[in-house]
Structures are given as C-alpha cells and as structure tokens.
A and B are shown apart, each in its own frame.
Chain A
C-alpha cells in the first residue's frame, strides 16, 4: 500500500504503544490511591455531619423535655408548675377561710364584750336601787328609834330590831361598795375592748376580702402566663417533631455515602485488575487476555449498578 505523506507523518509523531502503557501503569496506582483517599474523606465527612445532626436532635429533644418538666403536664410525679398553681390556690383559699373565721371570732368576741359592758350597766342600776333601799331602810330605822323612844319601856324591843336592821343596812352598803369596786375592775378590763374588737373584725374582714381579690388576681395572672407558655411549648414540640422529620430525611440522603463507597470499591478492584493485567503484558508474561468489563460488571452489588434498574431489584425490605 502506498502511504501518503500525511500517513507517514502521523505514524512518526505518535508515541509507541509501550510508552503509552508505561505511562498508564505509572499513573494507575496514583489514581487508585486518590480514589481510596476520596472514599475515606467522604466517609469521614458524612460521619461528622451525622454526628452534628445527632447533636442537634438530642439538644432539641432535651430542651423540650426540660421545658415540659418545669411546666408540668400532669404526667410527671409532682405535676410541675400546673399542679403547683392548683395547690397554691387551694392553700390560699384555705388560709383565707381561716382568716375569715378569725375575723368572725373577733367580731363575736367584740359583741360579747359589749354585752358584758351592757350587763355591767344593768348591775350598776340594780346597785343604785339597792343603795336607795338601804338609804330608805336607814331613814326608817331612825324613825323607828324615835318612835321607840316615845314608846318608853314598850319600845325597847323595837329599838333592838331597828338597830339590827340598821346593821344589816350597813352591811348591804359595804357589799354594794365591794360589788361596785369589782365592777369598776371589770369595766376597766373590758374597757373599750369590745368596740376595738368589733372595729378590728370589720377592718380585718375588709382586708381579707381585698387580699382574697388580690391573691386570686395574682394566681390568675400566673395561670395565664403558664397557659401562654404551654402554648409555646406545644409549638416548640411541633417544631421539634418537624426537625426530627427533616433529620430523618437528611439521614436517608446521607446514605449516598454507602453507595459511593461501594462504587469506588468496585472501581478500585477493576483498576487494580487492569494495572496487574497491563503489568504482566508489559513484562512479556504469557497471559490470556482478560475481559475487564465483564469482571467489573460481575463485581456490581447494587441494583443501580446493573444495567436496567429493575434487574435483580426486588422489595427493599424482606423478612425471611
């Protein structure tokens, strides 16, 4: 065959096949090493990302749990804030009832004191009557003595009786005096206590009413804030659930690393086979030609590596 100048020129400029093979043999191990390092780096990066996701999910879950424990949804022992508020309300109501009872008792004591004062007044009135009677008796005694002196001898017995009556009248006066003294002590002790106690009862009663109103107002405010916080907690829980869902999706997506590792592993095996085959040929060893493509295809383990996605691809979950 007559070779034209263009063909001769092309043959002379092309490197011999041996040089090309040598160049490939030198480069292939480097390619294999680089691929291996790439696989390692991808695995490390994916692991790090997954650990971050785990940290995010754990922290989000912990925050929601802590808030739930503080606020209390009734499921924990002790019940949390909600149960505490209810207990406070009950305790305050009992306290206010007891205070109300104390106020009532103070009012009753005041009224009793006033009754005592009224009774003392009545006794004073009775004492005054007794004193009048005593005075009348003394006057009567004097008259009796005068009449007895006019009766002469016959009046002596009458004088004795008059003197006895006069003596009794004197004792009556003394008793009245003692009673009046004792009454003065009682009046002093009771004093204005009755009025004061009644006034105290009235003012305490008003204070109790006011305190009751203020306490319930404060508890209502706390309950309102608690309600708003519960709503916030519910929103945070929903956000946490959404976050968990997103993390699940990310975890599913991260599994690309497995498939990449597998593919790279198969490529590495094929490249190592090609390197060995070329090396043997280059060394002049009598080796039968290898079907590297067939070997590569046989190494496939994943559904997506086989030609035709449906080939060998059954259900992705099988329980034997």
Chain B
C-alpha cells in the first residue's frame, strides 16, 4: 500500500518482505529514503535499521519507521537504532507524501 501511494506520486520504489531481504536488495543501490515496518518476519525493522547504519553507503540515508507500534518506549528504541522518523499507522496518504517530501529534500 505504501509502495502504491509512493508510485502514484511519481517515486521509484524498491520493495522487500522483511529486513533481511531489504538488506540484500539494497546492495549496490542508491536510494533517497528507506521506509520500514517494525514487525516483520525473519528480521524485524529495528534490527534492520541497526544493520543498515553499519553500511557506509546508507549511514546518512533517511529511514522512516511506518508501523502500528505507538508506544514511546518503542519510538525511543527506533531513534536509538538510527531511525529518522516514526509514523504510526493508519497513515494518511497526503500526509505520508508530505513527510516523505520533507525528509527527501
């Protein structure tokens, strides 16, 4: 659904089902932004962000966590892992695009 909304807005989107697949898919790629869920199979979102930040190519790429998790403790964990922002679902498409636009700029 996120990919759909972003593609409609003209963004090119790479998708992955979990953190591990995302790390593999990002090898050799140049991206302006990463959006990740927290609760994922195989590798969860926070582990994914921590590992992503160890790669020099992605050290400064903005990472938005898009998740149903709303607890402050979880948000703090996300920030500590290296996330740039936290968006609680359900997301409003125009608002998501506004945030994406801000972060990518």
User: Do A and B bind?
Assistant: yes
Contact A252–B4 (Cβ < 8 Å): no
- B59-92 interface (Cβ within 8 A of A): 68-72, 74-75, 78-79, 83-92
User: Which of B71, B78, B87 gathers most chain A CB within 10 Å?
Assistant: B71
Contact B5–A317 (Cβ < 8 Å): no
> In this complex, what residue of A is CB-closest to B88?
A316
Contact B85–A319 (Cβ < 8 Å): yes
The distance in angstroms between the C-alpha atoms of A312 and B87, with both chains bound, is 14
Of B18-26, B27-35, B50-58, B93-101, the one with at least 4 CB within 8 A of chain A: B93-101
Q: Which of A254, A256, A317 contacts B88 (CB 8 A)?
A: A317
Contact B88–A301 (Cβ < 8 Å): no
Please tell me the size bucket of the interface on A: 20 to 34
- B1-45 interface (Cβ within 8 A of A): 1, 4-5, 7-8, 39
The distance in angstroms between the C-alpha atoms of A254 and B91, with both chains bound, is 10
> In this complex, what residue of B is CB-closest to A255?
B90
Contact A317–B99 (Cβ < 8 Å): yes
Contact B88–A53 (Cβ < 8 Å): no
Contact B94–A312 (Cβ < 8 Å): no
Query: How close is A83's CB to chain B, nearest CB, in angstroms?
Result: 26
> In this complex, what residue of B is CB-closest to A316?
B88
Instruction: Tell me if A262 is interfacial: C-beta within 8 Å of chain B.
Output: yes
- A223-253 to B contact mask, C-beta < 8 Å, 1/0: 0000000000000000000001001100111
The distance in angstroms between the C-alpha atoms of A53 and B99, with both chains bound, is 23
Given contacts A262-B39, A317-B99, contact A303 B4 (CB under 8 A): no
Given contacts A251-B1, A301-B68, A302-B68, contact A319 B103 (CB under 8 A): yes
Enumerate chain A interface residues (CB-CB to B < 8 A). Answer: 50, 53-54, 57, 61, 244, 247-248, 251-256, 258-259, 262, 265, 301-303, 312-314, 316-320
